[in-house]
Amino acid sequence: MTTEAATQQVMTTADGTPLKVSLAKAQRRLKIRALLLVAPLLLFILITFFVPVFDMLFRSVENQIVPEVLENTAPLLLKWDDRDGELPPEEVFAAAKEDFVKGAKAKTILRVGSRMNYEQSGFSSLFRKTARRAKNFESPYKEAFIKADRKWGDLDTWRILKRESGAFTISYYLAAMDLSYGPSGDITMKPKGEAIYLTLFWRTLKLSFLITILCLALAYPISYLMSTLPLKTSNLLMILVLLPFWTSLLVRTTAWIALLQQEGVINDLLVYFGLITDDNRLAMIHNATGTVVAMTHILLPFMVLPLFSVMKTIPPTYMRAAKNLGATPTVAFIRVYFPNTVSGIGAGGILVFIISIGYYITPALVGGVDGTLISNFIAYHMSTSLNWGLAAALGVLLLGIVLVLYYFYDKIVGVDNMKFG
Amino acid sequence: MTESDTAFVRFSEVQKSYDGETLVVKNLNLDISRGEFVTMLGPSGSGKTTCLMMLAGFETATHGEIYLDGQGINKVAPHRRNIGMVFQNYALFPHMTVSENLAFPLEVRKQPKNEIRERVDRALDMVRLGGFGNRRPAQLSGGQQQRVALARALVFEPKLVLLDEPLGALDKNLREEMQYELKSIHDSLGLTMVFVTHDQQEALTMSDRIAVFDDGVIQQIDSPSTLYEEPRNAFVAYFIGENNRFVGTIKELSDNECSVEVDGGYIIKAKPVNVGNVGDKTTLSLRPERVSINPEAGSMPNMLDAKVLQLIYLGDHIRTRVAVGQNEDFVVKIPNSQEHSQLSKGQTVKVGWSSDDCRALDA
Ligand SMILES: Nc1ncnc2c1ncn2[C@@H]1O[C@H](COP(=O)(O)OP(=O)(O)O)[C@@H](O)[C@H]1O
Ligand SMILES: [Mg+2]
Residue B4 scores a pLDDT above 50: no
**A325 has a chain B CB within 8 A of its CB:** yes
CA angle B163, B167, B172 (to 5 degrees): 160
d(CA A396, CA A389): 10
The pLDDT of residue A167 is: 92
Entry pTM: 0.80
State the nearest Cα–Cα gap between B4 and chain A, in angstroms: 24
The pLDDT of residue A185 is: 77
Q: What is the distance of C-alpha A310 from the center of its chain?
A: 29
Is there a contact between A325 and B94 if contact means CB atoms under 8 Å apart? no
Strand order across the beta sheet in which B63-68 lies: B25-33, B7-16, B63-68, B71-72
Contact B36, B209 (CB under 8 A): yes
The pLDDT of residue B2 is: 44
Greatest mean pLDDT range, A83-92, B210-219, B337-346: B210-219
Is there a contact between B105 and A328 if contact means CB atoms under 8 Å apart? no
d(CA A393, CA A216): 31
Residue B29 scores a pLDDT above 80: yes
The pLDDT of residue A17 is: 80
CB atoms within 10 A of CB A108: 17
Nearest to B95 among A324, A329, A340 (CB): A340
The pLDDT of residue B315 is: 87
In chain A, where does the domain assigned CATH 1.10.3720.10 lie?
197-417
Closest Cα to residue A250, out of A360, A382, A384? A360
Region B59-88 average pLDDT: 93
Which of B87, B100, B110 to probe the A interface (max A CBs under 10 A)?
B87
Q: Is B216 in the pocket of ligand 1 (CB under 6 A)?
A: no
d(CA A352, CA A153): 54
Give residues with Cβ within 8 angstroms of A31, minimum separation 6: none
Residue B240 scores a pLDDT above 60: yes
Element holding A179 (H helix, E strand): strand A179-181
Q: B102: nearest CA in chain A?
A: A325
User: Which protein residue's CA is at the shortest distance from atom 4 of ligand 1?
Assistant: B18
The pLDDT of residue B297 is: 83
ipTM, interface predicted TM-score of the complex? 0.84
d(CA B273, CA B232): 7
Contact A393, A175 (CB under 8 A): yes
**A414 has a chain B CB within 8 A of its CB:** no
User: Which protein residue's CA is at the shortest distance from atom 27 of ligand 1?
Assistant: B45
pLDDT above 70: percentage of residues in chain B: 98
Collect all residues of chain B within an 8 Å Cβ-Cβ radius of residue A327. 79, 104-105, 108
Residue with the bigger pLDDT between B337 and A218: it is A218
The pLDDT of residue B3 is: 46
**A413 has a chain B CB within 8 A of its CB:** no
B96-126 tens-digit pLDDT: 999 999 999 999 999 999 999 999 999 999 8
Q: Please provide the DSSP assignment of A311-357 as one string.
A: HHTS-THHHHHHHHTT--HHHHIIIIIHHHHHHHHHHHHHHHHHHHH
B123-139 tens-digit pLDDT: 999 888 999 999 999 99
d(CA A125, CA A128): 5
**A345 has a chain B CB within 8 A of its CB:** no
Detail the DSSP E strand segments found in chain B: 7-16, 25-33, 37-41, 63-68, 71-72, 83-86, 160-164, 192-197, 209-214, 217-222, 244-253, 258-262, 267-272, 281-286, 292-293, 302-313, 317-324, 327-335, 348-353, 358-361
CATH architecture of A197-417: Orthogonal Bundle (1.10)
**B4-15 in b/e burial notation, b at 16+ Cβ within 10 A?**
beebbbbbbebe
The pLDDT of residue A418 is: 64
The pLDDT of residue A363 is: 92
Q: Mark out the alpha helices in chain B (DSSP H runs).
A: 48-56, 98-108, 113-126, 142-154, 172-189, 200-206, 224-229, 234-239
Q: What residues 366-385 of chain A have any CB closer than 8 A to a CB of chain B? A: none
**A310 has a chain B CB within 8 A of its CB:** no
Contact A306, A419 (CB under 8 A): yes
What is the Cα Rg of chain A in Å?
A: 32
Is there a contact between A325 and B93 if contact means CB atoms under 8 Å apart? no
Tens-digit pLDDT profile for chain A (421 aa)? 445 444 456 777 777 788 888 888 888 989 999 999 999 999 999 999 999 889 989 999 999 999 999 999 999 998 888 888 888 999 999 999 999 999 999 999 999 999 999 988 899 999 999 999 888 998 899 999 999 999 999 988 999 999 999 999 999 999 999 998 887 778 889 888 888 999 999 999 999 999 999 999 999 999 999 999 998 999 999 998 888 788 888 888 889 999 999 889 999 999 999 898 888 888 988 999 999 999 999 999 999 999 999 999 999 999 999 999 999 999 999 999 999 999 899 889 999 999 999 998 899 999 888 889 999 999 999 999 889 999 999 999 999 999 998 898 888 877 766 666 5
Q: Is B47 in the pocket of ligand 1 (CB under 6 A)?
A: yes
d(CA B325, CA B351): 12
Q: What is the distance of C-alpha A204 from the center of its chain?
A: 11
User: Which protein residue's CA is at the shortest distance from atom 12 of ligand 1?
Assistant: B24
